[in-house]
């Protein structure tokens, strides 16, 4: 059946179009985009998107699906449902599962399982090294031939510079990006929260900005040397923004992402004993947060990604020192972007579409992120004015670990469409 989306504000960063229009979808593709499409509505599935943004389906470059091996935290099926509920039509799964996705068989397991159970498109990122131990390269070429869209050692940095340079050179030859988690493990120690007044107040070890900044600088220099496409994950410091800006001025192929929690919260928001405020990188200072927002506003930072990191409630019930790092983010990302960035004038709706869809597609080389006629009908419909309160009991994710529980946000996902099929519709 055909799908007609009527009366929506179509925001298409692929052609810089922003106007009220209709979209007609047939056989999984956009076949018409014009004002007041005339079709026999008896033969159509019609969605009236009046008052809503109609954007290319969101693409999340940074998701932890936990399967295989950690299904008590999340599964491919539940993570994909959470993505659909959050407006994401494509997600990139990080490789730090158990076992690690470091060879072709494990990669194919995720891709094949995703085809069977996932409501959205799932791309798999391959590990840089075997078992993410940092000692020998994984089968990068084999994984890329089998469908890996990138490589990453997410959860840690490859500390062996010579080995990482070899991996980057191979990634450059294979024309895939390296997604870099920038953290000097020799500096982080037993750090729990940002090194500052809050870590002192709560009497826990701190994680300084230098932990991130020193590896950002190193990886940019390696990217300059190898000419690889480097994508910096979950940037959290003001100096990361400065270094990305300088690298781009010098023509280095670097892109960077910011997570919603890092542009929405500071260390001052941390509630004692609530481990949902524990993530890596940690929540930083107001100065860092403002730099991240301005970096997004000025198009220095290219992408908004969630770093969706579900954990079982028993794990997050441990002490601040012992609980695992990470929060869920797929189901709150769009609303936090509207609430903290669009409503406050940091981003235009067009920039929001760029950072949640068009730019992520470019980073991993997907022919997505636009609503042009002929393109795959991956579409997100968002009501920017509707308010809602975050209720973790309504989450599709198995993970309920979010510091935004009970928070009132603006921006409600009304429908998510994948390959022309409605996979989520707000009730």
What is the residue whose two structure tokens read 């075997």? 130
Supply the pLDDT for residue 108: 98
307 labelled ligand-binding: yes
* The total number of structural domains that make up the chain: 2
Mode of pairing for the β-strands spanning 150-152 and 121-127: parallel
Residue 340 and residue 396 in one domain: no
Question: What local confidence, expressed as pLDDT, does residue 298 receive?
Answer: 98
Q: Determine whether the annotation assigns residue 426 to a binding site.
A: no
Residue 169 lies in a domain: yes
Do residue 115 and residue 21 come from a single domain? no
Residue 424: strand pairing partners: 416
Active site residue 139: no
Identify the active-site residue in 60, 213, 307, 378: 307
pLDDT tens for the chain, 427 residues: list them.
Answer: 799 999 999 999 999 999 999 999 999 999 999 998 887 767 789 999 999 999 999 999 999 999 999 999 999 999 999 999 999 999 999 999 999 999 999 999 999 999 999 999 999 999 999 999 999 999 999 999 999 999 999 999 999 999 999 999 999 999 999 999 999 999 998 999 999 999 999 999 999 999 999 999 999 999 999 999 999 999 999 999 999 999 999 999 999 999 999 999 999 999 999 999 999 999 999 999 999 999 999 999 999 999 999 999 999 999 999 999 999 999 999 999 999 999 999 999 999 999 999 999 999 999 999 999 999 999 999 999 999 999 999 999 999 999 999 999 999 999 999 999 999 999 8
Residues in the chain: 427
**pLDDT value of residue 41:** 67
Q: What is the CATH number of the domain that holds 49?
A: 2.30.40.10
Residues 219, 319 share a domain: yes
Q: Has 234 been labeled as part of a binding site?
A: yes
Query: Do the beta carbons of residue 67 and residue 110 sit within 8 Å?
Result: yes
Q: For 182-202, b where at least 16 C-beta lie within 10 A, e where not — what string?
A: bbbeeebeebbbbbbebbeee
Binding residue per annotation — 194?
A: no
Residues 160 and 82 grouped into a single domain: yes
Q: In this structure, are residues 194 and 282 in contact, taking their beta carbons and an 8 Å threshold?
A: yes
Q: Domain residues for 144? A: 57-364
Q: Are residues 136 and 228 in the same domain?
A: yes
Are 359 and 384 in the same domain? no
Give the residue from 90, 149, 78 showing the smallest Cα distance to 356.
Answer: 90
Could you tell me which residues are beta bridge partners of residue 303? 257
Is 319 in the same domain as 335? yes
Do 218 and 196 reside in the same domain of the chain?
Answer: yes
Q: What is the pLDDT of residue 39?
A: 76
* 109 belongs to an annotated ligand binding site: no
CB 152 within 8 A of CB 178: yes
198 and 242 both lie in a single domain: yes
Query: Is 58 within any annotated ligand binding site?
Result: no
Is 370 a domain residue? no
Q: Which residue bears the tokens 């947060």? A: 289
């Amino acid at each position: 059946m055909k799908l007609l989306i009527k009366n929506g504000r179509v925001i298409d960063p692929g052609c810089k179009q922003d106007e009220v229009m209709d979209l007609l979808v047939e056989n999984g593709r956009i076949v018409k985009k014009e004002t007041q499409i005339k079709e026999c509505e008896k033969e159509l599935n019609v969605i009236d998107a009046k008052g809503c943004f109609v954007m290319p389906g969101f693409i999340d470059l940074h998701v932890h699906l936990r399967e295989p091996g950690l299904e008590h935290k999340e599964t491919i099926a539940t993570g994909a449902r959470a993505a659909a509920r959050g407006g994401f039509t494509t997600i990139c799964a990080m490789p730090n599962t158990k076992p690690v996705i470091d060879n072709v068989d494990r990669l194919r397991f995720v891709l094949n399982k995703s085809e069977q159970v996932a409501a959205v498109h799932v791309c798999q990122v391959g590990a840089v090294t075997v078992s993410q131990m940092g000692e020998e390269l994984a089968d990068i070429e084999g994984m890329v031939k089998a469908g890996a869209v990138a490589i990453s050692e997410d959860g840690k940095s490859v500390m062996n510079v010579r080995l990482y340079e070899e991996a980057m050179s191979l990634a450059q030859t294979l024309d895939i990006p390296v997604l870099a988690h920038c953290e000097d493990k020799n500096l982080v120690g037993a750090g729990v929260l940002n090194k500052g007044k809050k870590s002192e107040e709560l009497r826990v070890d701190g994680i300084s900005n230098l932990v991130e900044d020193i590896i950002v600088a190193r990886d940019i220099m390696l990217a300059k040397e190898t000419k690889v496409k480097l994508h910096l994950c979950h940037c959290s410091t003001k100096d990361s923004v400065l270094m990305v800006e300088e690298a781009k001025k010098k023509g280095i192929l670097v892109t960077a992402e910011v997570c919603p929690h890092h542009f929405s919260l500071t260390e001052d928001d941390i509630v004692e004993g609530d481990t949902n405020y524990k993530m890596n990188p940690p929540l930083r200072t107001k100065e860092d947060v403002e730099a991240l927002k301005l970096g997004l506003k000025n198009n220095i930072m290219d992408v908004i990604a969630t770093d969706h990191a579900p954990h079982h409630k028993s794990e997050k019930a441990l002490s601040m020192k012992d609980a695992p790092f990470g929060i869920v983010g797929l189901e709150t990302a769009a609303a936090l972007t509207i609430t903290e960035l669009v409503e406050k004038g940091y981003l235009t709706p067009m920039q929001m579409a760029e950072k949640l869809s068009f730019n992520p597609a470019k980073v991993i080389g997907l022919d997505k992120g636009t609503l042009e006629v002929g393109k795959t009908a991956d579409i997100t419909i968002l009501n920017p004015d509707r308010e809602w309160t975050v209720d973790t009991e309504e989450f599709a994710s198995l993970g309920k670990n979010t510091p935004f529980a009970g928070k009132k946000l603006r921006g409600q996902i009304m429908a998510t469409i994948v390959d022309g099929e409605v996979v989520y519709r707000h009730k």
